[in-house]
Structure 1
Amino acid sequence: MIIDYAKTLERSEEEIIKWENRIIKINNKLCDKYYLERDNYSILVGSVGRGTAITKTSDYDVLFKLPQSLYTKFDKYESNGQSQLLQEIKNIIKELHPKTKMKGDGQVVSIEYNDGVIELVPAFEQSDGNFKYPDSNNGGCWKVTKPLPEIEGSVKKSKNTSKTFNYLCFLMRQWKNHNGFSFKGLLIDTLVSEYLEDESYKNKTELQLLEGFFGQLSKENKEQSYWYALGSNQKIYNDDNGKFVTKAKKALKKFDEATEESILKDLFGYKQSEQQATNEEFIENKFIVDIRFNLKIDCDVIQNGFRGMKLTEYIRSKFRLGRGKTLNFSVINSNIPSYLPVNYYWKVRNVGREALGKERGQIFLGSKKLIEHTSFNGNHYVECYAISDGIVIARDKIRVPIDVLHGR
């Protein structure tokens, strides 16, 4: 059942063809500028290239191989030739898609469609098979990336495990998207590959296989500086304090006396619409979900104009909220870069017998703050979503336990 569910997360043929056609058009446009013939000079890299991306993935990372003469030309610029190269590539693609939003900065040219983005990296192939690419930050420089060994390592692992490697990678992406925390795709693939090095996985049930991997994740050192990537041994830096380790420890507790279906529901959002309230909405049906950053919400509990405890303190102390309280929810922490345009959406879901006929659950546009009030009993919850360019890049959820008669 778990593997069957994982298979539903794989990109569909329709999705694959749609994005391949877009990439082919861009490839041909650049070929017309830089080569005498149209050939495939594009390499799909990232999770799509490694075969570990899930359906509705929002990022397609593409290397476009450029002639070495172009490197010589832009390397001779006195000031930030890397930025000039990115701008030139962007302007050429702009002729193909004049109305499409594009950016050419940092290390990529971003071509932003309404259902995702192609991040194209102009690259120069080196004699060792690696690629040199531009970085326009801090005055400009050239950097090296090694995607081919990562792709080769993933393909080999997929073949040797009869795609168990891919299925676990799919599940981990769905887990982090559903639960709302940052977990780098290359790190997911690397840790899954390491887990499957032990041949004993073949003797495990699907539930044991999944539990064993969460067990491995929970034992990772969240303080370490980096991990070495599958295939390339490039460093994957720990820039979010190993959030996945804490989340894995929490997930591991769910396996006590669990069934496959209960695990799929608890950790991956399986069949979440089965308990759908009237008019309830789910963020996955409204936007692409690709969690890249961490977001934390909390709530000031206020009564008679005076601020009391934080809602998280109530939950920690196993208290329930009483009647007549104002709840001031807010985003209290996030590592979303300030330069990203972000809109905040909210969902308030009331649960319980008293909610019947008054159920909420619609998703609505707001700000970093939300004001609610305690009205009737139930284990309610509030969820916040950070959305940039039509993609959910961060989310968080908090329980709101209310007992109007016996709460504090």
Structure 2
Amino acid sequence: MKKDKFNSKFREYAKTLSPQSHEQKLIGEIYQSFNNLLGVNNCIQIGSYPRFTAITPVNDLDILHFIGNWDEKNHDPKTALENLQVLLNDSYKNPTDYEIKISLQTHSVTISYLDGEEEVFSVDIVPAYIFSKNEFSEDTYKIPEIVREKYGKNRTEYYQKLFQEHKEMDWITSDPRGYIMIASEIDKSTDGEFRKTTKIIKAWKNNLVDEDKNLELKSFHLEQVITNFFQEDQNLEIFDAIFEFFVELPGMINSPNQITDRANSDKFVDDYLADFTEDQKEKIKFARDGFFIKLENLKESISIDELLKIDFYQRKPSEKFLFDYRIKTFIDSDLKFRVDGFVKPLTGFSAGWLTQTPQLQKGLTRGKDQRKIEFSIQVDNISADEYRWKVRNSDACSQPRGEITLNHTKNTPDEVTEYIGDHYVECYAVNKSVCIAKSRVSVKII
């Protein structure tokens, strides 16, 4: 499949990930209800939704409520939050048909929208002190560190931990307006490629967590990785950015503390990676390889939804793929390219080309009747920059191989029939780091 087809499929799929119209309507009405209550200048919506990188479903919303200027010695929000709870109980006008439940935490007020016993949506109103200005002359804030925790169970556990350890909540500097400004500018300059790329990466990340909850990469971190890609090259297309993300992923998870928080030069949005075990990192790499293998073989009839499903591929130590060399695969079906293997004569046995000799396709002998095969290009109207060859033996044998070599197979001129199983040899025609054609020969050894 050519690059323009890939880009088109990714862009169309990204549209399906955007919050649905009924979600947008609900969020808009709820946020406006708090603007009406608190004053439009006294609160701000934070998170991925105002940056236009949220994906469906959206079930919660964080709102910062400004309660004054930061005072290093006096920043207990207890009174302000208690007053807010009273205000909500007395004056809040619920714009929905759902019942609401208002709960006071030590550093936030939670409003739950309920359909019977089921929570349909929730809002956390978090106190914020005005702290300083960013480079856009917009306010930055001091907020409770609880905001860094994912809404729901994570925050509940965080509150419990503080209580059990008799610790006070830390306050961190936050620059939501700066992140919103940068996301908006990059998305505009890339004609939406930034937003669409981020949503697809988040969808893959969510699928990964669904498969294994211990493999949770943080959405905000991944969004900042994509931000950096497009800041470095605003001409990236969606396929290029997605490809770059998965190429860089192993290095990313092995090297935490690379992306500085805008508001805290001593904080990193990827610091959580330092807690990942080797097993966790290895399994993420398996999922990444599974994605790439499907991408290299994606046909127009296969959906992006299928591509983003998690397959953990545990490659053999010797196995290589084109993506290991940053080679993208855009197969041009109009090109003519075919390879074959010539099985050399042996007394008492058939010889000839593998793809043209049915007797040879039934299986080749080994041991004392070992056969020699020379692989070569038989049809080629491409004149590629280079040709790469891969020999892959069956996983059941002791030497599965899988190496990729330039111009010929590793053991040219003669590969030999040493191991039983269903094997294959594949050749890739590469122009300017793009595989534009490939051909495979099956080799059965009995």
Q: TM-score, normalised by structure 1?
A: 0.54
Matched, 1:148 2:177: yes
Compared with structure 1, are the counterparts of its residues 165 and 208 closer, same or farther at alpha carbon in structure 2 (3 Å cutoff)?
A: closer
2:126 aligned counterpart, secondary structure: strand
Residue 167 of structure 1, CA deviation: 0.2
CA distance in 1, matches of 2:172, 2:66: 15
The aligned counterpart of 2:233 is: 199
CA distance in 1, matches of 2:79, 2:258: 32
1:115 aligned counterpart, secondary structure: strand
Contact kept in structure 1, 2:63 and 2:125, CA below 8 Å: yes
CA distance in 1, matches of 2:218, 2:181: 19
Compared with structure 1, are the counterparts of its residues 123 and 245 closer, same or farther at alpha carbon in structure 2 (3 Å cutoff)?
A: same
Residue 212 of structure 1, CA deviation: 2.9
The aligned counterpart of 1:108 is: 108
2:254 aligned counterpart, secondary structure: coil
Contact kept in structure 2, 1:150 and 1:231, CA below 8 Å: no
CA distance in 2, matches of 1:220, 1:177: 18
Matched, 1:217 2:286: no
Compared with structure 1, are the counterparts of its residues 144 and 262 closer, same or farther at alpha carbon in structure 2 (3 Å cutoff)?
A: same
CA distance in 2, matches of 1:121, 1:256: 45
Residue 67 of structure 1, CA deviation: 3.9
* Larger of the two Rg values belongs to structure: 2
CA distance in 2, matches of 1:88, 1:48: 27
The aligned counterpart of 2:52 is: 51
Residue 223 of structure 1, CA deviation: 4.6
Q: Which amino acid aligns with 1:88?
A: N
2:297 aligned counterpart, secondary structure: coil
Matched, 1:93 2:78: no
Residue 122 of structure 1, CA deviation: 1.6
Contact kept in structure 2, 1:41 and 1:65, CA below 8 Å: yes
CA distance in 1, matches of 2:230, 2:55: 20
Compared with structure 1, are the counterparts of its residues 123 and 214 closer, same or farther at alpha carbon in structure 2 (3 Å cutoff)?
A: same
Deviations 1:338-388 (A, max 9, x none): xxxxxxxxxxxxxxxxxxxxxxxxxxxxxxxxxxxxxxxxxxxxxxxxxxx
> Where in structure 2 are the equivalents of 1:172-187 lying within 5 Å?
172-180=201-209, 181-187=215-221
Residue 153 of structure 1, CA deviation: 1.2
2:142 aligned residue (103, 116, 132): 132
Contact kept in structure 1, 2:77 and 2:127, CA below 8 Å: no
- Pairwise CA RMSD of aligned residues? 3.5
Q: Which amino acid aligns with 1:103?
A: S
Q: Which amino acid aligns with 1:12?
A: Q
1:100 aligned counterpart, secondary structure: strand
Deviations 1:248-306 (A, max 9, x none): 34422322322355361334359xxxxxxxxxxxxxxxxxxxxxxxxxxxxxxxxxxxx
Matched, 1:227 2:259: yes
Contact kept in structure 2, 1:178 and 1:267, CA below 8 Å: no
Residue 16 of structure 1, CA deviation: 2.0
The aligned counterpart of 1:399 is: none
Q: Which amino acid aligns with 2:194?
A: F
Matched, 1:121 2:126: yes
1:44 aligned counterpart, secondary structure: strand
2:252 aligned counterpart, secondary structure: coil
CA distance in 2, matches of 1:126, 1:200: 32
Deviations 1:62-100 (A, max 9, x none): 1122344xx77x9658xxx33443343234323436952
Contact kept in structure 2, 1:207 and 1:260, CA below 8 Å: no
CA distance in 2, matches of 1:22, 1:4: 29
1:188 aligned residue (222, 245, 252): 222
Provide the identity percentage. 19
CA distance in 2, matches of 1:259, 1:250: 16
CA distance in 2, matches of 1:109, 1:67: 17
Residue 193 of structure 1, CA deviation: 1.3
The answer to which of 128-137 and 189-198 deviates more is 128-137
2:53 aligned counterpart, secondary structure: coil
Contact kept in structure 1, 2:140 and 2:263, CA below 8 Å: no
Matched, 1:158 2:190: no
Compared with structure 1, are the counterparts of its residues 76 and 65 closer, same or farther at alpha carbon in structure 2 (3 Å cutoff)?
A: closer
1:197 aligned counterpart, secondary structure: helix
Contact kept in structure 2, 1:125 and 1:132, CA below 8 Å: yes
Residue 219 of structure 1, CA deviation: 2.9
Q: Which amino acid aligns with 2:140?
A: N
Q: TM-score, normalised by structure 2?
A: 0.50
Contact kept in structure 1, 2:43 and 2:64, CA below 8 Å: yes
Matched, 1:258 2:280: no
Deviations 1:24-43 (A, max 9, x none): 222333x3xxxxxx444221
Contact kept in structure 1, 2:295 and 2:307, CA below 8 Å: no
CA distance in 1, matches of 2:295, 2:303: 7
Q: Which amino acid aligns with 2:22?
A: E
- Whose relative contact order is higher, 1 or 2, with alpha carbons under 8 Å and at least 6 apart? 1
Deviations 1:192-248 (A, max 9, x none): 11222343854x5x5454333211223324352463246876521225527595343
> Where in structure 2 are the equivalents of 1:238-387 lying within 5 Å?
238-239=272-273, 241=276, 245-246=284-285, 247-259=287-299, 262=302, 264-268=304-308
Compared with structure 1, are the counterparts of its residues 101 and 267 closer, same or farther at alpha carbon in structure 2 (3 Å cutoff)?
A: farther
CA distance in 2, matches of 1:2, 1:75: 51
Contact kept in structure 2, 1:94 and 1:100, CA below 8 Å: no
The answer to which of 238-247 and 43-52 deviates more is 238-247
The answer to which of 142-151 and 232-241 deviates more is 232-241
Contact kept in structure 1, 2:208 and 2:216, CA below 8 Å: no
CA distance in 1, matches of 2:218, 2:81: 25
CA distance in 2, matches of 1:89, 1:148: 23
CA distance in 2, matches of 1:93, 1:127: 29
Compared with structure 1, are the counterparts of its residues 216 and 249 closer, same or farther at alpha carbon in structure 2 (3 Å cutoff)?
A: same
Compared with structure 1, are the counterparts of its residues 267 and 107 closer, same or farther at alpha carbon in structure 2 (3 Å cutoff)?
A: farther
Compared with structure 1, are the counterparts of its residues 231 and 198 closer, same or farther at alpha carbon in structure 2 (3 Å cutoff)?
A: farther
CA distance in 2, matches of 1:44, 1:65: 12
CA distance in 2, matches of 1:40, 1:200: 33
The aligned counterpart of 1:406 is: none
1:238 aligned counterpart, secondary structure: helix
CA distance in 2, matches of 1:169, 1:18: 23
